[in-house]
Amino acid sequence: MEFLPRPELWSLDPRALHLNHGSYGAVPRRTQHVAGGLRSEMESNPMAWFRGLPERLAASRRRLAEYLGADPDGFALVPNASAGVTVALSAVPIAPGERIVLTDHAYGAVRYAAERAGTLRGAEVVTVPVPLEADDDELLAAVADALDDRTAVVVIDQISSATARVFPVDRVARLCRDADVPVIVDGAHAPGLIDQPIVDGADFWTGNFHKWPCAPRGTAGLFVAERWRDRTKPLITSWAEYDELPARFDQQGTGDYVPWLAAPTSLEVLEALDWPRRRSWLTTMLTEASTIVAKALGTSLPDVTTPAPTMRLVELPASVAVTSESERAALAAQASERIGAELAITAFGGRLFVRLSAHAYNSFRDYELLAERLPTLLREG
């Protein structure tokens, strides 16, 4: 069955090729409309709005937990996966001289969170190298090698950012459990891409609704295993300090909670789009589309074990002399300005990639146009 692209459900500028859903998502018109209505309600009587907020937040939080198949008693709302990881790192005991373990696929800001936790508590951050094309067994063995009696915690991606790989997180969680080491799963990309993403045996799991489920930005979940619930607190101390989790996370001072209330509308949009059947169709389409882009560039698709369903890496030619993160950002900005393409440029192991995304608003033609335009941009530099 073929699914028709539905760009009319979003308000994306049709003059651009929107090929990087993975970074900041995109909010459908219907959710924008609901969020706008909620904001008008808030501004019509802020006092009444904040009086009624706790019940509405709890209902929204329960709906989002249900979508993930999460136990609602352990599922809190946080603004983003960065906050989720930071909260989890602040909840686990880390003693001076211990180690925080992550892989070289970890998201940059998550690495910084680990570094901050390490500096505050006198612990060391240990990075486990996992080659791009390593299979699951090799990955498991690399993580297992890094565990010893000084390991305080492991932070592991569920779907990595720069390499767009699905990690065998259930196996990593079992490994950590057997070694009696807490594990934090960074599932930033998992909601919407993996059904039932909350990993059995994970001590903490966090994931974004503002990426693949298209919720308004600032909407993410944090699942906390029972044994950690008492000691897991939001980063901002507020009136709910002595409430139980998850209500403890519901209000972190005065803020704009509209995204959390409007997020379930995006889940309805996805449902109407026949997600996840559409997602598997998009996955097939993106595989073919990425091949066309790679062919136009004279490169190939790296052989990533279990690539993310709707994110693919295409290698950039070795002649593209871009090394630093700021140069990658500059190349992405050039692609936007000169060929109208919104792209994620990633790097791993000294290799450079364009990470292509596909969502319901994308058509095969988007990638054909990229294949026509990108080689010229890279040649002209």
Could you say which of 208, 251, 252, 357 contacts ligand PLP (CB under 6 A)? 208
Nearer to ligand PLP, 103 or 299 (CB): 103
107 contributes a contact to ligand PLP by CB under 6 A: yes
User: Residue 348 — φ and ψ, nearest 5°?
Assistant: -160, 135
Nearer to ligand PLP, 165 or 297 (CB): 165
110 contributes a contact to ligand PLP by CB under 6 A: yes
Distance of alpha carbon 291 from alpha carbon 299, whole angstroms: 9
Q: Report which DSSP code applies to 162.
A: S
80 contributes a contact to ligand PLP by CB under 6 A: yes
* Contact track, ligand PLP, 11-40, x by CB under 6 A: ------------x-----------------
- Per-residue exposure over 34-70, b if at least 16 CB sit within 10 Å of its own CB, e if not: bbeebeeebeeeeeebeeebeeebeebbeebbebbeb
Nearest to 78 by CA among 261, 268, 207: 207
Nearer to ligand PLP, 186 or 366 (CB): 186
Q: How far is CA 325 from CA 270, 346, 377, in A?
A: 33, 8, 19
Query: How near is the Cβ of 159 to ligand PLP at its closest, in Å?
Result: 7
Nearer to ligand PLP, 215 or 339 (CB): 215
Distance of alpha carbon 290 from alpha carbon 355, whole angstroms: 9
Q: Tell me the residue type at 98.
A: E
Interacting span for ligand PLP (CB under 6 A) from 121-129, 139-147, 157-165, 349-357 = 157-165
Query: How near is the Cβ of 349 to ligand PLP at its closest, in Å?
Result: 17
Could you say which of 99, 111, 165, 189 contacts ligand PLP (CB under 6 A)? 189
Nearest to 31 by CA among 265, 218, 213: 265
Interacting span for ligand PLP (CB under 6 A) from 75-83, 143-151, 233-241, 346-354 = 75-83
Cβ partners under 8 Å of residue 324, min gap 6: none
Could you say which of 12, 100, 117, 188 contacts ligand PLP (CB under 6 A)? 188
Structure-token match 């393409």, residue found:
341
Nearer to ligand PLP, 85 or 296 (CB): 85
Count of residues touching ligand PLP (by CB under 6 A): 14
81 contributes a contact to ligand PLP by CB under 6 A: yes
Query: How near is the Cβ of 188 to ligand PLP at its closest, in Å?
Result: 3
Distance of alpha carbon 61 from alpha carbon 54, whole angstroms: 10
Distance of alpha carbon 309 from alpha carbon 279, whole angstroms: 7
82 contributes a contact to ligand PLP by CB under 6 A: yes
Nearer to ligand PLP, 80 or 362 (CB): 80
Distance of alpha carbon 156 from alpha carbon 169, whole angstroms: 7
Nearer to ligand PLP, 188 or 296 (CB): 188
Q: Which residues in the 246-305 window bind ligand PLP by CB under 6 A?
A: none
Nearer to ligand PLP, 354 or 371 (CB): 354
Q: Rounded to the nearest 5 degrees, what angle is found at the Cα of 219, between the Cα atoms of 34 and 11?
A: 45
User: Please, are residues 211 and 81 in contact by the beta-carbon 8 Å criterion?
Assistant: no
Nearest to 94 by CA among 172, 158, 181: 181
Query: How near is the Cβ of 50 to ligand PLP at its closest, in Å?
Result: 25
Nearer to ligand PLP, 23 or 237 (CB): 23
Virtual torsion, Cα 331, 334, 335, 339, nearest 10 deg? -160
Nearest to 25 by CA among 64, 82, 80: 80
Rg of the chain taking only CA atoms, in angstroms: 21
347 contributes a contact to ligand PLP by CB under 6 A: no
Residues contributing to the site for ligand PLP (CB under 6 A): 23, 80-82, 107, 109-110, 157, 160-161, 186, 188-189, 208
